């Protein structure tokens, strides 16, 4: 049985463990800094197995050595936003959190594929990639899958169709500059451009962009976790079971789409090796411009992180 380790036993991490277990994808180890916390969550999840029909082994630990032999590592630890906060507002706090275990990922799980959920996901993907010095195919973020799922639910409601029949596609950063690609989004094979007006397509993008903020505003304390956990579990299943799925995810680019040295959401082929390749789609001029603008915004933050890593190394 393959092994998935989730660092951070909060709402996202625990629900991700549950979704992985329910598909009997892999054994799961939850790691959390709070003594006994992950162990308690793991025991609770194990006791759900006879009812939910899964028999994988779920363990909890506060020892980073338990990263050993991981095939996939999910980074879900860190501070979550509060009402009025942007994703970038938690960057400094979450860099400090990641610094407490990122070296151990490189030490104990050097061959693992790392999926980053910690916000802001594009920047944290870049930071973890640079800190671990892993190959660029090994580290990717969870964002495009979540944005696609949110769009799928929104489009399904608009058209009164089954959400499972909708495939949506987003690229760019997981922020205000995300880019909806309606020409590559389908409902039972029919392009969204044939089913929605340009105004409705624009509204889909705005609703997806605001989805996290709406959940945060409603909950007051804490933010979305079921959909992010489900999105991460889907990526884990793709890797472990070699599903060879095409999806969008924050990845490191080295010339694709004319971009360099930045982690940004792009279409990829995901398999057991991680990012098998970045797929270059034909974009409209407006979409190209929007992608470049999104990359510029992300690069400003990521360049600061690169400088920080150099200072720490010197």
Task: Tell me the catalytic residues.
Answer: 174
Q: Determine contact, residues 258/281, Cβ cutoff 8 Å.
A: no
Q: Determine contact, residues 262/299, Cβ cutoff 8 Å.
A: yes
Q: Cβ contacts of residue 2 below 8 Å, gap of 6+?
A: 25, 26, 27, 71, 72, 240
- DSSP annotation string for 54-107: ----EEEES-GGGGTT-SEEEE--SPPP-TT--GGGGHHHHHHHHHTTHHHHHH
Tokens 């025991």 sit on residue: 43
Identify whether 98 is preceded by a cis peptide bond (ω within 30 of 0). no
**In this structure, how many other beta carbons lie within 10 angstroms of the beta carbon of residue 215?**
16
**In this structure, how many other beta carbons lie within 10 angstroms of the beta carbon of residue 49?**
16
- DSSP annotation string for 119-163: SSHHHHHHHHHHHHT--TTTEEESSHHHHHHHHHHHHHHHHT--G
Q: Determine contact, residues 71/109, Cβ cutoff 8 Å.
A: no
Tokens of residue 101, six digits = 């275990």
């Amino acid at each position: 049985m393959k092994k998935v380790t989730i660092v951070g036993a909060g709402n996202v991490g625990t629900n991700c463990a549950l979704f992985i277990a329910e598909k009997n994808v892999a054994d799961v180890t939850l790691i959390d800094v709070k003594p006994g916390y992950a162990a308690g969550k793991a025991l609770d999840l194990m006791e759900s197995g006879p009812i939910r029909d899964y028999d994988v082994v779920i363990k909890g630990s506060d020892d980073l050595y338990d990263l050993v032999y991981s095939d996939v590592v999910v980074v879900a630890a860190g501070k979550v936003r509060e009402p009025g906060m942007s994703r970038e507002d938690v960057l400094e706090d979450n860099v400090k959190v990641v610094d407490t275990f990122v070296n151990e990922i490189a030490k104990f799980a050097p061959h693992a594929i790392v999926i980053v959920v910690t916000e802001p996901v594009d920047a944290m993907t870049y930071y973890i990639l640079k800190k671990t010095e892993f190959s660029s195919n090994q580290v990717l973020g969870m964002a495009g899958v979540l944005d696609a799922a949110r769009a799928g639910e929104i489009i399904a409601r608009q058209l009164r169709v089954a959400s499972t029949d909708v495939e949506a596609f987003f690229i760019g950063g997981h922020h205000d500059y995300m880019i909806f690609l309606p020409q590559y989004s389908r409902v039972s094979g029919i392009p969204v451009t044939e089913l929605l007006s340009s105004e409705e397509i624009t509204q889909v993008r705005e609703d997806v962009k605001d989805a996290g903020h709406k959940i945060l505003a409603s909950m007051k304390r804490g933010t979305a976790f079921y959909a992010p956990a489900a999105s991460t579990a889907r990526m884990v299943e793709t890797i472990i079971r070699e599903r060879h799925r095409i999806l969008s995810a924050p990845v490191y680019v080295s010339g694709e789409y004319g971009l360099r040295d930045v982690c940004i959401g792009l279409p990829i082929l995901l398999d057991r090796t991680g990012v098998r390749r970045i797929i270059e789609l034909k974009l409209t001029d407006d979409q190209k411009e929007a992608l470049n603008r999104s990359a510029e915004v992300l690069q400003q933050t990521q360049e600061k992180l690169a400088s920080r890593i150099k200072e720490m190394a010197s």
